[in-house]
Amino acid sequence: MEQDKLRTRVFIALWSAFVVLLVYLPLACVALASVSKGRYFAFPIRAFSWEWWEKTTDSIEISMIVENSLLVAAVVTVFSVVIAFFGALAFARYDWKGRKLYQKLILLPVFFPQPVLGLALLLAYSALGITTSWMTAVFAHMVWIVPVVTLVIAIKVYGFDPSLEEAAFDLGASRVEVMTNVTLPLLWPGIWSGALFAFLLSWGNFPLSLYTAGADSTVPKWLYAKMVAGYSPMVPALGTMATLAAAAVLLGGALLGAIVKKARAA
Amino acid sequence: MTDIKDKKPILQLVGVRKTFNDFAAVEKIDLDIFEGEFFTIVGPSGSGKTTMLRMLAGMEAPSEGNITLHGERINDVPANKRPTCLVFQSLALFPHMSVGQNIEFPLKIKGVDAATRKARALELMAIVRLPASYYGKNVMKCSGGERQRVALARALAYDPEVLFFDEPLSAIDYKLKKILEKELKDLHRETGKTFIYITHSLEEAMVMSDRIGVMRAGRLIQVGTPEEIYAAPVDRFVSEFVGEVNVIELKREGEGWRGVNLPGAFRAAPPKDAPQADSTFVVVRPEFMRFLNDGEEADNTLEGVVYNEYSLGSRIQYQVRVGDKVMLVELSRSNALPAAANRNVRLGWDVRDAISVKA
Amino acid sequence: MSNAMTETTLAGAPEAARAPLSARFAALWAAAGVRCAVPVVVLLAAGFLAPLIAIFAYSFAPPRSFDVFRAFSLANYAELFSPDNTVWLSFAWSIGFALVTCALLAVISYPIAYGMVFLFGRWSSLVSVLFVFPLFVSENVRLYGWVLFFIKNGVLDGSLKWLGLGGAPEVLYTPGAILAGMVYTYLPFMLFPLTLGLSMVPRDLIDAARDLGANRFQIWREVEVPLAMPGILIGMLLTFVLAIGAVSEAKILGGQSVIVISHDIEIAFTYAQNWPLGSALAVLVTAFIGALTLAVFARLDLDRLLGRR
């Protein structure tokens, strides 16, 4: 029995490790290409150099694009978290007529191919005479990211005991006091992971930005434009930097969340 | 009842031990379970009784020692290859199947044809007292007691030699529990199968079992019939587990014995089969304590003040403060102490009613 | 008018005061739920529903025009359905890719999801993070990594040559490469719903089934799959729908050797400047996806799926 179980365990562990490896293999290839010397990529790498990293960080064009991406991601995060917080309460906390329908409506943009959504938004903007820019990209990102963040927060809301709010009301707290003293502190971990999701999903989004950012470029959009135009080592360099930045945000966010949790537990 | 010792052992545990990482959940257990008996393992939560049951059922393998069934080692035989079946604490009914489908599950696995399956399911439903109309009912729509019976019928459908029960009655209200306890006992008699039951309630164990094993901290500290466990608990833990008792620590002093934490003058009569050690505990059940009238004597006497009385239905329990200790006295209602509150009383017990136990 | 209002207020007030505490809370929260939903609903109405209406309206404008709402024409649909139009080929490619992606992902992800729910214990959160993280890297970078891996003189080819095994086979710019890219990109979208579904299977039920004599395969067929079905359905639907609309894989790994349906739409919108035709195509895709999604959604109880942790 134990042997049988062990065999299943080992198979599943090895398979998972193998798939994780495959998932990260292309990222490793990109990183490798970014530090190889020379205009063209060839393996095994003959010489390593940081020259393409330096060229990338020195480029004014790229720093503008990075600024755009950061701006879009930051604005998307702020708006998405606020909207999704209330959206999650409506999703999981309150019982109201039409909730089941609402739950499914929220999922629709997630279950919709982003390139088609991007083109549809582009068409809607032009029909309304709106010039596309980073601001229209923010809105486009939100259409997809708000539902995702709503789900992330809603999972936390399900675990939230409503009688705690009732108890606070009963003890004389006002609606606002209940929100700031009971609801928000308890849902904080969900909100924090929602914010991380919002920022990182916006940072890495390509299909929506491609059609809705107009003349403004973001990192993924710029990378794509260079990719189709022919090989440039700046593509792997910027791609690796963007990946590392996302990893840093994720790690930093998780760390900060853990520190806050620990400080509050003490 | 035929003497259990005449029967053949069906399950034997020899030096069985189970560790999780560094933690030993079950320590060196030796135990024989006889064919056809109703054996109950009792113990508080964390005593290792569930781990022990899972090893017997084949869901965990022992880290050391052997488990044998009919003399054959079954340590590594998986649950689906053992002629044993477990009724889970959660009952583990399949929510996507009807009552009938649940009961038929083991038959379907064995490849029994649909008509035979249905006939057998209906038979089993009659045995566990479920109406035949429940055959197509959604299990999730059944009440607690009905689910209990479905789980039982499903286990019986597997036709195991040994049935295990993991506290199946723990979430059931008192009245229904009493009914189901009796039904389970009847079922045991009717099927003649070996039942191994675990519970944290000794009361439940006393009602149903032929023999009881008391577990504590991974060890089996006493095995015996309900009467033995009640009358001769092996230590303080078992005696306190059986029910509320008075535990008095005694220390040897010269030729005699002195009570610890009792008013200074108290001299105890030497306890029955007094141990060689310099101190011992004696256990006196509240029903063996009595109030003494003037001039009445007992082997041991104490003076105290009544400060609480509880009604226990047909009996009344008095809490008596003796120095810093509280002693319990239980009387039948017809012998109730009049005007008990704050009354100064003398209480006593006889040596033959006190049980010496290890600490 | 004012009289009537006073009357309602008078009639309503004592009613509310008399209602038990719990009923008043329920009424309060009923309203609160609606208020909380408003921002999301407005956003989705403006950002999701309105664009869909816009493409629907555009699809009836005369071809190559921008005369939306002013003229009505079925010419776009007529063109799409005309026998000599090859757009059905793109459709077929997309559906084929999506079906195979979906099936492969189910097989690839199931053991991992099973491990995350039942075996990995405290490691499972780390495994989750490892599988979530790629979502934060834009897919074109990840797909580009595969190009670098498979390209001539790339990582695979170079390694094989270095080992003296000749070169790597030509994989890039074939339908197989596109398929692999889709499987790769949409893995998390299958894995996490499956995990959610499997976490709805109580461990006791698996133990009970085994105890009643079932072997691994019987447990899987009789207990795991039926109980995890909502998660399996969501995973299948999500990957299928996203793969239908996928375009980067065909462009980057397929080198445009195959035109998928979203690529056709994009071409109509950009190079061809034929918005009405692109819209008609987008309407067809949306109708297809929408019908499928709504059919699956009708059978789902999201409270059960997400609420049970």
Distance from CA of B77 to the nearest CA of A (A): 6
Q: Do A12 and C41 touch (CB under 8 A)?
A: no
Q: Is pLDDT at B271 greater than 80 in this prediction?
A: no
Q: Has residue A4 been placed in a domain?
A: no
Q: Do B154 and C212 touch (CB under 8 A)?
A: yes
Chain segment A63-72, per-residue pLDDT in tens: 999 999 999 9
Number of domains forming the structure of chain C: 1
Chain segment C264-287, per-residue pLDDT in tens: 999 999 888 899 999 999 999 999
Mean predicted confidence (pLDDT) in A238-258:
94
Helix (H) or strand (E) holding B176: helix B174-191
How far apart are alpha carbons A69 and C294 in whole angstroms?
34
B73 touches chain A (CB under 8 A): no
Q: Do B158 and C213 touch (CB under 8 A)?
A: yes
Chain A partners within 8 Å of C31 (Cβ)? 96
Chain B partners within 8 Å of C201 (Cβ)? none
Q: Has residue C43 been placed in a domain?
A: no
Q: Which of B346, B148, C145, C78 has its CA nearest to residue A29?
A: C145
Query: Model confidence at C9, in pLDDT bands (50, 70, 90)?
Result: very low
| Helices assigned H by DSSP within chain C | 2-18, 21-44, 50-58, 75-81, 87-114, 124-132, 139-150, 155-162, 175-198, 203-211, 216-219, 225-244, 248-252, 261-269, 275-297, 302-307
pLDDT at residue B83, rounded to an integer: 93
Q: Has residue A48 been placed in a domain?
A: no
Q: Is pLDDT at C24 greater than 70 in this prediction?
A: no
Chain centroid to CA C27: how far? 36
Distance from CA of C141 to the nearest CA of A (A): 6
Q: Do A105 and C265 touch (CB under 8 A)?
A: no
B vs C: CB pairs below 8 A: 57
Q: Is pLDDT at C210 greater than 60 in this prediction?
A: yes
Chain segment A11-37, per-residue pLDDT in tens: 999 999 999 999 999 999 999 999 988
Query: Model confidence at C308, in pLDDT bands (50, 70, 90)?
Result: very low
Chain B partners within 8 Å of C308 (Cβ)? none
Nearest CA in chain A to C119: A9
Chain B adjacent subunits, 3+ CB pairs under 8 A: A, C
Q: Which of C243, C233, C232 has its CA nearest to residue C98?
A: C243
Report how far apart the first and last C-alpha atoms of chain C are (Å, whole number): 53
Number of domains forming the structure of chain A: 1
pLDDT at residue B101, rounded to an integer: 95
pLDDT at residue A130, rounded to an integer: 92
Chain A partners within 8 Å of B67 (Cβ)? none
Distance from CA of A181 to the nearest CA of C (A): 18
How far apart are alpha carbons A106 and A119 in whole angstroms?
20
What letter does residue B70 receive in the DSSP assignment? T
Chain B partners within 8 Å of A4 (Cβ)? 78
A vs C: CB pairs below 8 A: 284
Nearest CA in chain A to B74: A1
Q: Has residue C115 been placed in a domain?
A: yes
Q: What are phi and psi of B23, to 5 degrees?
A: -90, 125
How far apart are alpha carbons B149 and B130 in whole angstroms?
7
Chain B partners within 8 Å of A2 (Cβ)? 61, 76
Q: Has residue C252 been placed in a domain?
A: yes
Q: Which of A1, B155, B226, B229 has its CA nearest to residue C211?
A: B155
Query: Model confidence at C71, in pLDDT bands (50, 70, 90)?
Result: confident
Mutate to test the interface with C, among B74, B109, B164 (most CBs of C within 10 A): B109
Q: Is pLDDT at C260 greater than 50 in this prediction?
A: yes
Nearest CA in chain C to A239: C141
Chain segment B100-137, per-residue pLDDT in tens: 999 999 999 999 999 999 999 999 999 999 999 999 99
Mutate to test the interface with A, among B63, B64, B73, B76 (most CBs of A within 10 A): B76
Q: Do A243 and C114 touch (CB under 8 A)?
A: no
Q: Has residue A40 been placed in a domain?
A: no
How far apart are alpha carbons B239 and B353 in whole angstroms?
13
Chain C partners within 8 Å of A10 (Cβ)? none
Chain centroid to CA C94: how far? 14
Q: Has residue A6 been placed in a domain?
A: no
Task: Count the alpha carbons within 13 Å of A189 in the hemisphere toward its beta carbon.
Answer: 14
Nearest CA in chain B to C206: B92
**What ipTM was assigned to the predicted interfaces of this complex?**
0.92
Nearest CA in chain C to B95: C227
pLDDT at residue C15, rounded to an integer: 46
Query: Model confidence at C257, in pLDDT bands (50, 70, 90)?
Result: confident
Nearest CA in chain A to C138: A204
How crowded is residue C123: how many other Cβ atoms within 10 Å of its Cβ? 13
Q: Has residue A254 been placed in a domain?
A: yes
How far apart are alpha carbons C62 and C277 in whole angstroms?
9
Got the DSSP string for B102-139? HHHHHHHHHT--HHHHHHHHHHHHHHTT--GGGGGSBG
Q: Has residue C20 been placed in a domain?
A: no
pLDDT at residue C52, rounded to an integer: 96
Distance from CA of C130 to the nearest CA of B (A): 27
Q: Has residue A18 been placed in a domain?
A: no
Q: Has residue C183 been placed in a domain?
A: yes
Query: Model confidence at B272, in pLDDT bands (50, 70, 90)?
Result: low
A159: domain CATH number is: 1.10.3720.10
How confident is the prediction for chain B on average, in pLDDT? 89
Q: Do A87 and C36 touch (CB under 8 A)?
A: yes
Mean predicted confidence (pLDDT) in B317-344:
88
The residue type of B292 is L
Query: Among B59, B78, B106, whose Cβ lies nearest the Cβ of C212?
Result: B106
Chain A partners within 8 Å of B76 (Cβ)? 1-3
Q: Has residue A31 been placed in a domain?
A: no
Query: Model confidence at C13, in pLDDT bands (50, 70, 90)?
Result: very low
A vs B: CB pairs below 8 A: 10
How confident is the prediction for chain A on average, in pLDDT? 92
Chain A partners within 8 Å of B61 (Cβ)? 1-2
- Contact predicate B133/B55, CB 8 Å: no
Task: Count the alpha carbons within 13 Å of A120 in the hemisphere toward its beta carbon.
Answer: 31
Angle between helices C175-198 and C124-132 (to 10 degrees): 140
Q: Domain span at residue C258?
A: 82-305
How confident is the prediction for chain C on average, in pLDDT? 88
C185: domain CATH number is: 1.10.3720.10
Q: Has residue A10 been placed in a domain?
A: no
Percent with pLDDT over 90 in chain B: 54
Q: Has residue C13 been placed in a domain?
A: no
Q: Has residue C23 been placed in a domain?
A: no
B76 touches chain A (CB under 8 A): yes
Chain A partners within 8 Å of C238 (Cβ)? 110-111
Nearest CA in chain A to B57: A1
Query: Model confidence at B201, in pLDDT bands (50, 70, 90)?
Result: confident
The helix/strand count (H/E) of chain A reads as 12, 0
Query: Model confidence at C11, in pLDDT bands (50, 70, 90)?
Result: very low
Nearest CA in chain C to A31: C145
Q: Has residue C91 been placed in a domain?
A: yes
Q: Which of B270, B282, B263 has its CA nearest to residue B353?
A: B282
Q: Do B58 and A1 touch (CB under 8 A)?
A: yes
Chain C partners within 8 Å of B57 (Cβ)? 211
Nearest CA in chain C to B159: C212
pLDDT at residue C3, rounded to an integer: 44
Q: Do C211 and B85 touch (CB under 8 A)?
A: yes
Among A100-109, A239-248, B263-272, C163-172, where is mean pLDDT lowest? B263-272
Query: Model confidence at B36, in pLDDT bands (50, 70, 90)?
Result: very high
Among A78-87, A91-100, B25-34, where is mean pLDDT lowest? A91-100
Mutate to test the interface with B, among A1, A5, A9 (most CBs of B within 10 A): A1
Mean predicted confidence (pLDDT) in C44-69:
89
Query: Among C34, C68, C134, whose Cβ lies nearest the Cβ of A127?
Result: C68
pLDDT at residue B5, rounded to an integer: 56
Chain segment B140-194, per-residue pLDDT in tens: 999 999 999 999 999 999 999 999 999 988 888 888 999 999 999 999 999 999 9
Nearest CA in chain B to A3: B76
Query: Model confidence at B335, in pLDDT bands (50, 70, 90)?
Result: confident
Mean predicted confidence (pLDDT) in B27-34:
94
Q: What are phi and psi of C188, to 5 degrees?
A: -60, -30
Q: Domain span at residue A157?
A: 61-265
Higher pLDDT, A215 or A43: A215
Percent with pLDDT over 90 in chain A: 68
B309's CB contacts (< 8 A; 6+ apart) are B316, B317, B318, B319, B337, B340, B341
Q: Do C212 and B88 touch (CB under 8 A)?
A: no
How far apart are alpha carbons B164 and B152 in whole angstroms?
10
Q: Which residues pair with B165 in a beta bridge?
A: B87, B197
